Structure 1
């Protein structure tokens, strides 16, 4: 299995903006068939080093993760929106 973790910091960290981004990320469930696990969390500490939203996903293989990256719903809808509203995005991918 491959774990894919992404931390998003929004340009404007309003409760409404965070909730909209969270719901859009969660909307991939059932639309992106290679996703084996999808979890989205909102930061509760709110420290200067915190990101606003964490995305945790799992895939059966590295090939499935790569297919996810170019999947039309992920690339054209979710990733495009997140790029437009984020000031920072960092990711880590590892075998689990």
Structure 2
């Protein structure tokens, strides 16, 4: 299995509606992109200061399926329309699970 993890921090002034739209639009991707095997989204619980504000974990059968997701027009549209306009910082990693 191949895993993709991304963490976001939103720009100052980001509204609750904008945050919710990111989660909603990302949450639709598993219905659109069949290569996604598992997909988890979440907002930081606010327990520790300095954390990122939102996380996504996506699992794929392999690198090729991840690349389909990465480059998929629906995914790219969510990034362009909902994430980039409110993004302050992003951290990401991809790795092989169990390997």
- TM-score w.r.t. the length of structure 1 is 0.88
Of 7-16 and 61-70, the range deviating more from structure 2: 7-16
Corresponding residue for residue 93 of structure 2: 92
Greater radius of gyration (CA): 2
Judge conservation of contact 1:10–1:86 (CA < 8 Å) in 2.
yes
- Structure 1 alignment gaps of length 5 or more: none
Structure 1 stretches (4+) deviating beyond 6 angstroms? none
Q: Across the two proteins, how many residue pairs are aligned to each other?
A: 95
Q: Unaligned 5+ residue runs, structure 2? A: none
Deviations 1:25-44, CA, capped at 9 Å, x for gaps: 11112111111111100001
What is the aligned-residue RMSD (CA, Å)?
A: 1.5
TM-score by length of 2: 0.86
